[in-house]
Amino acid sequence: MFMRIHTVATHMHVRDAVEDDAEAIAALADAPTDVVRNLVHDRSVRVAEREQSGNDPNLDTNTVETELLGFVSFDAHGQTVHVTQLGGVPDACEQLLAEPVRFAASEEMAVELLIEQEAAELQAAAKAAGFREDGTGPMFRGSRTLRFRQRP
């Protein structure tokens, strides 16, 4: 479970992650690129990105640059959708949490994620996305986690 939060607010677009996103996701997650590449293949992964149009007078056409602002990965087991990784700017994390929630609602399943106790901004993003704290979770990287759930 990777949980990293960065601070920058902006307008964003959410889409399915592709293998070419692995390096940018790895930078946000502080994880090896090959691990993230496998994640993109094995789980449902969405990314939030900012698109900026550029009008460079030295180029014949406008250019569009994108910046990855966050990511979420999730999978389903039993009657629960589990958010397995989440990271990025707070606004992106909040918006990205809507992805597993939408999937869970269509399947009439609950959604669960674990957040490290020290990750106050991530906890705020989860609460803003409609999650409620539901007790403590397991230790992760030497830190206690909190369990957050959303039921259909």
Class (C level, CATH) for 3-150: alpha beta
23 close to 47: Cβ distance less than 8 angstroms: no
Q: Give me the pLDDT at residue 61, please.
A: 59
Q: Give me the pLDDT at residue 152, please.
A: 76
**Cross-strand partners of 48:** 14, 70
Ranges of the chain with pLDDT below 70: 1-10, 52-65
Q: Give me the pLDDT at residue 8, please.
A: 44
Q: Give me the pLDDT at residue 52, please.
A: 66
pTM above 0.75, yes or no: yes
Strand ranges (DSSP E) for the chain? Answer: 3-5, 13-16, 44-54, 63-77, 80-88, 110-116, 132-136, 145-150
Q: Give me the pLDDT at residue 43, please.
A: 87
